[in-house]
Chain A
Amino acid sequence: MKRVRALAAKELLHILRDRRSLAVAVLMPVVMVALYGAVIDMEMHDLPVAVLDQDHSDNSRELVRSLGAGGFIVETARLEQAAQVEPGFRRGAFMAALVIPRGYSRSVADGEPATVQVLVDGSDAATAAMAANYLQAVVQREARRIAAGSGGGAPAFTVRPRVWFNPELRSAHFVVPGLVALVLMMICAILTSIAIAREKETGTLEQILTTPIRPAEVIAGKVLPYVGLGALDAALILAIGRFAFHVPMNGSWFALAAYCLLFIVIALGAGLLISAKSPSLRVAMMAAVTVTMLPTMILSGFMFPVSSMPAPLQVLCRLLPATHFLVVLRGVMLRGVNWFPHETAILAVQAVVLLVLAIRSFRLRLE
């Protein structure tokens, strides 16, 4: 134990001396939460919309006025003719256009159905779909207002929508658990593999191995400071999420900590395995980023829903520890569930397999 402590102390010194890596390790997660929390917003705001009012009536002006309510839309252009729509889309000046035809008001007054055109630049599909939904809703609300004025009937039934667990659809609630997974992967897998590969390259690993220390002690001493750093980062992210973005904690802290620890073991296993298999620091670095970090960002459901991916890719997603860890984290924090038998089993198996493989390949290298 004393030897492990000596090694861990030395590793900690390395970390503290390398200012830039330390800055990356501590500052990056903080800035990431702040930025991701602020920038990732699944709701629509200030969507630029152009209006072409060919009717110039009180009714049409009322429709235009009702657009701005709610802050989802800003009217950025008043068009004179339909030919201006397409060039505007091309310039990116606005993303949708509302065209109120001549005779709109008269049709409404005569009880004839009037058609309002909603033209949407579909190039950003997700935003376009939201914009179309919203504009349709505005037009329909206006239709209902006019119908109510002329004594029309009530709808057959109404829908009472409710969003659970995250009623305001705050993206931070959704992003913070993902960042915990990402940062644990980054610190525990990437930094560990880099640290070990560097010792291998400079020959200091061999130097240490000529001392009476056991391989397991080497690994433990090497890895412990990064466990600490990873845990610190996770705590930082959770604290920022809680105090700056009001991310709820509906489950138990104990369950959260236990699952984080399990995930740290997995990340360390991956980092060790990579460093044992890599011939050089450069390869270790590349491998660590492409095997651990990128998939965690792209395939874990961090931002992109796994259910939307094609089947072969979904298989890959389910092989990824982060996918299951994310289900657990979001479950604990947002849904208040503390026990996930399915995910726990998968994560435990992954942890054991990775650790055994890592220690085995490490031994092979040492002999």
Chain B
Amino acid sequence: MSVLGTLVRKEFRQLRRDPALLRLVLILPVMQLLVMSYALNNDLRHLRVSVLDDDRTPLSRRLVEAFPHGVTFTPGPGAEGEAELGRLLREGRCDIAVHIPAGFARDVSDGRSPAVGLAVDGSNSSIAGRGAGYAEALLTREAARLATENGRPGGTPVKPAVRFYHNPELESRLYMVPGIIVILVTIISALVTGLAVVREKELGTLEQIRVTPVTPLQMIAGKTIPFALIALVDLILATLFAVAWFHVPMAGSPLVLLLGVFLYLVVTLGLGLLASAVSDTQQQAVFTVWFFLVFAIMLSGFFFPVQNMPPWARALTWLNPMRFFMAIVRGVLLRGAGVGDLAREFSMLALMGVAAFGGAVALFRRASD
């Protein structure tokens, strides 16, 4: 135990002496959380709607005004003809183009159901699909209202009553912020651990320690415990910040979250060690960890739901610890999930922890051959 204490104390001393690194691991995550939380959202905001009104009647103007001028839609430049409307879309000066045909009001009152054109710029598909759906729903609702006013109820004997759980205002931020926390914890724990080990390799101190009676397990524990604590502090800081600043609910128990973090850190620290074992320079270690992160983030469901992926990608996510921790953090914070609700996630993380850490210990042991 005292050998371990010596190793851990040394690591903390070195951290204290390296203010740049300390800033990097303690302040940067909170700043990143702030920027990313504002940047990474795909809420529909300020979609520019350009309208070509070929009818110019009170009824057509009413349809134009159906687009609320606020957060979701803002008026785009007007167009004088269909060609110009097309040009606006092509030049990227509007996101949605609405064309109300001539004779619209007459056709409506005659019950001829005229078609209103709705064109969406699909080159930005992250918003195009939902933007189109939203605008279409808006117009359809207006159509139903008109039909009722004309004394011909549009025939809606069944009404859907929609209710959103856990996030009634559908703020994507509530969903993204816990995901960002997961990514930050991963970067800190895997990257910083990997770098710290490789730096000792570069300096030759790792070799110096190898000729001492310190066991590989002690060495690894001494190296990882400090960074596990730092990652834990980061997680707590980021979570407090998320709750206080972004009003992310803390629906579940912090203890469940802590259990999840503990299991996850075993995995990521193990991966950091593995990266350091296969790298001789810090540059290689950074590349190796970075490579892993790019794929882990993509396949974690962070931004793109796992069920949306093709089967082969979905199968790959089973190898991705971030996927399971992501589910735990979001489940606990947003839905109040307990250990029983997340049994699969917890057991997968435990399994991966044993594999990653065991692999790292084995590699370090083998390095002496």
Binding site for B on A (CB under 8 A): 20-21, 24, 28, 31-32, 35-36, 38-48, 86-87, 89-92, 104, 107-108, 111-130, 132-133, 135-136, 139-140, 142-144, 146-148, 150, 152-167, 169-171, 173-174, 194, 198, 281-282, 285-286, 289, 298-299, 301, 303-305, 307-310, 313, 327, 330-331, 334-337
CA distance A361 to B123 in the complex (A): 40
Judge whether B262 is part of the interface by a CB distance below 8 angstroms: no
CA distance A32 to B38 in the complex (A): 25
Residue in B116, B156, B164 whose CB lies within 8 Å of A120: B164
Question: Which 4 A-B residue pairings sit nearest by Cβ, starting from the closest?
Answer: A152-B155, A147-B155, A166-B122, A122-B167
A146 contacts B157, CB within 8 Å? yes
Residue in A21, A148, A171 whose CB lies within 8 Å of B125: A171
Residue in A48, A124, A169 whose CB lies within 8 Å of B129: A169
Residue in A46, A89, A116, A334 whose CB lies within 8 Å of B308: A46
A158 contacts B115, CB within 8 Å? yes
Closest partner residue, chain A, to B173 (CB atom): A125
Residue in A48, A108, A129, A163 whose CB lies within 8 Å of B128: A163
Interface residues of B in 129-153 (CB under 8 A from A): 129-130, 132-137, 139-140, 143-144, 146-147, 150, 152-153
B122 contacts A153, CB within 8 Å? no
Judge whether B209 is part of the interface by a CB distance below 8 angstroms: no
Binding site for A on B (CB under 8 A): 24, 35-36, 38-47, 89-92, 95, 104, 107-108, 111, 113-130, 132-137, 139-140, 143-144, 146-147, 150, 152-175, 282-284, 286-288, 290-291, 294-295, 298-299, 303-305, 307-310, 312-313, 327, 330-331, 334-338, 341-342
A303 contacts B126, CB within 8 Å? yes
CA distance A89 to B286 in the complex (A): 38
CA distance A161 to B308 in the complex (A): 24
Q: How far is the CB of A64 from the nearest CB of chain B, in Å?
A: 13
CA distance A366 to B270 in the complex (A): 43
Q: How far is the CB of B286 from the nearest CB of chain A, in Å?
A: 6
B125 contacts A169, CB within 8 Å? yes
B125 contacts A304, CB within 8 Å? no
A153 contacts B166, CB within 8 Å? no
Residue in B24, B126, B144, B175 whose CB lies within 8 Å of A42: B126
B336 contacts A90, CB within 8 Å? yes
Q: How far is the CB of A287 from the nearest CB of chain B, in Å?
A: 12
Q: How far is the CB of B21 from the nearest CB of chain A, in Å?
A: 10
B146 contacts A91, CB within 8 Å? no
A115 contacts B159, CB within 8 Å? yes
B156 contacts A123, CB within 8 Å? no
A133 contacts B158, CB within 8 Å? no
B309 contacts A38, CB within 8 Å? yes
Q: A160-B118, A164-B122, A174-B123 are in contact. Are A119 and B130 (CB under 8 A)?
A: no
Q: How far is the CB of A271 from the nearest CB of chain B, in Å?
A: 15
Can you report 18 A-B residue pairs in the complex whose CB atoms are below 8 A from each other?
A: A31-B295, A39-B298, A42-B128, A86-B165, A125-B170, A128-B167, A133-B134, A147-B156, A154-B111, A156-B150, A164-B120, A169-B122, A171-B125, A198-B283, A304-B39, A304-B42, A305-B45, A313-B39
**Given A21-B287, A153-B147, 18 other A-B residues pairs in contact with their CB atoms under 8 A:** A48-B307, A113-B156, A122-B168, A133-B137, A144-B155, A147-B156, A155-B147, A158-B115, A161-B118, A161-B120, A164-B120, A174-B124, A174-B126, A285-B286, A286-B24, A289-B290, A305-B42, A335-B91
